């Protein structure tokens, strides 16, 4: 019997779009307050392009703030789920390396957990082309809070099983360094928040991460079964508090 090909990490989400939409964490209102402070304008009425929109978790919140959002998403499965959830929000099929959008037409471009899937040497000038002068590029990631002991211990177990994962905090650091390389000056902000979820939901969230999606299914199932046993010991009522630090990087298109 031949083993089915595994999806590349950037496209691995398409097979689990419904699980992704149901269990991935959202983003807190304070994140959007911070984006407004840094852009110097309300999101209400702003022309926002949400790239790597996935199932629309961030898009829905931006639209809820009154932004005129156009979503960009390359993946078939994620785009189908997006259309089911947000049928009235325009979705353009495309990717951040070559945005299918006209020059200087966006006030804000957002990438929620998705910029690390692009080639920054291409996606950065693309974002600058599509932003109006003075417009803002905002990139963010929900990072499990490393100061919370059970999350730090879980991170160690995942790193041990999946090989060295930098984690999203590592990603943000790397991208800030890349900003220097690309001559883009990123401002780094952080927003803390948490949500209380059942163990089943927590494991479904974990299982929708790309490092589990690209490994053999038996291997992922074995890890998640063991993880359930660890967490049951720590949280006998099977309710747990997922704590996050949102790492936000912003930069503006120069006005001259
Ligand atoms: C972790 S998901 C984030 C989805 C959504 N923004 C959210 O906050 O839940 C990453 C998304 O990036 C998309 N993606 C992969 N490669 C991309 C690229 N080169 N440009 C833009 N998006 C990409 C994937 O299809 C996926 O939907």
**According to the 3-state scheme, what is the secondary structure of 29-85?**
HHHHHHHHHHHCCCCCCCEEEEECCCCCHHHHHHHHCCCEEEEEECCHHHHHHHHHH
- Considering just the CA atoms, what is the radius of gyration of the chain in Å? 18
Q: Best mutation site among 7, 10, 52, 121 for ligand 1, i.e. most ligand atoms within 8 A of its Cβ?
A: 52
In the chain, what is the straight-line distance between the N-terminal and C-terminal CA atoms, in Å?
A: 61
111-134: average pLDDT: 96
| CA neighbours closer than 13 Å in the CB half-sphere of residue 6 | 12
Q: Which residue has the higher pLDDT, 7 or 234?
A: 234
Domain extent, residue 54, equals 6-145+166-196+243-252
Q: Which residue has the higher pLDDT, 12 or 43?
A: 43
Atom of ligand 1 nearest to the CA of 20: 9
Q: How many A from CA of 12 to the centre of ligand 1?
A: 10
Q: Which of 97-111, 123-137, 171-185, 212-226 has the lowest mean pLDDT?
A: 171-185
**Per-residue pLDDT tens over the stretch 137-148:** 999 999 999 999
| pLDDT score of 1 | 36
Residue nearest to atom 9 of ligand 1 (CA): 57
Q: Hey, what are 223's tokens?
A: 């890890």
Q: Are strands 91-93 and 187-198 parallel, antiparallel or unpaired?
A: unpaired
Is 81 close to ligand 1, i.e. is its CB under 6 Å away? no
CATH number, domain with residue 21:
3.40.50.150
The answer to whether 71 and 91 are in contact (CB under 8 A) is yes
**154, part of any domain:** no
Q: Hey, what are 256's tokens?
A: 């001259």
Domain count, the chain: 1
C-alpha 59/C-alpha 52 separation (Å) is 10
**13, part of any domain:** yes
| pLDDT score of 3 | 42
Is 10 close to ligand 1, i.e. is its CB under 6 Å away? yes
Unique residue bearing structure tokens 């390396």? 97
C-alpha 238/C-alpha 231 separation (Å) is 8
**227, part of any domain:** no
**213, part of any domain:** no
Bridge partner list, 193:
244
**Which of 118, 142, 111 is CA-nearest to residue 251?**
111
**208, part of any domain:** no
**180, part of any domain:** yes
**158, part of any domain:** no
Residue nearest to atom 22 of ligand 1 (CA): 52
pTM score, whole prediction: 0.94
Quick one: DSSP state of residue 97?
Answer: T
**229, part of any domain:** no
208-218: average pLDDT: 89
**Per-residue pLDDT tens over the stretch 140-188:** 999 999 999 999 999 999 988 887 665 555 666 777 777 778 888 899 9
Is 27 close to ligand 1, i.e. is its CB under 6 Å away? no
Q: How many A from CA of 57 to the centre of ligand 1?
A: 11
Atom of ligand 1 nearest to the CA of 97: 19
**Per-residue pLDDT tens over the stretch 32-68:** 999 999 999 999 999 999 999 999 999 999 999 999 9
**Which of 134, 24, 173, 19 is CA-nearest to residue 81?**
19
């Amino acid at each position: 019997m031949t083993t089915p090909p595994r999806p590349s990490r950037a496209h691995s989400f398409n097979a689990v779009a419904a699980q992704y939409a149901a269990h991935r964490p959202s983003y807190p209102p304070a994140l959007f307050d911070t984006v407004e402070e840094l852009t110097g304008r309300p999101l209400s009425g702003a022309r926002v392009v949400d790239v790597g929109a996935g199932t629309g978790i961030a898009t829905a919140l931006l639209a809820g703030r009154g932004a005129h959002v156009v979503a960009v998403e390359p993946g078939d499965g994620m785009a189908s789920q997006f259309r089911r959830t947000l049928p009235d929000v325009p979705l353009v099929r495309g990717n951040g390396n070559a945005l299918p959008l006209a020059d200087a037409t966006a006030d804000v471009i957002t990438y929620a957990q998705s910029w690390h899937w692009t080639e920054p040497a291409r996606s950065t000038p693309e974002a600058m082309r599509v932003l109006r002068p003075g417009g803002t590029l905002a990139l963010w990631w929900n990072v499990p809070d490393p100061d919370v002991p059970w999350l730090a211990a879980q991170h160690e177990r995942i790193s041990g099983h999946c090989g060295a994962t930098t984690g999203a905090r590592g990603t943000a650091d790397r991208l800030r360094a890349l900003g220097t390389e690309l001559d883009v000056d990123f401002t780094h902000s952080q927003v803390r928040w948490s949500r209380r979820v059942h163990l089943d939901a927590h494991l479904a969230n974990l299982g929708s991460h790309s490092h589990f999606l690209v490994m053999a299914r038996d291997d992922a199932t074995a890890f998640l079964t063991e993880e359930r046993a660890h967490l049951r010991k720590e949280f006998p009522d099977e309710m747990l508090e997922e704590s996050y630090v949102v790492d936000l990087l912003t930069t503006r298109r120069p006005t001259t």
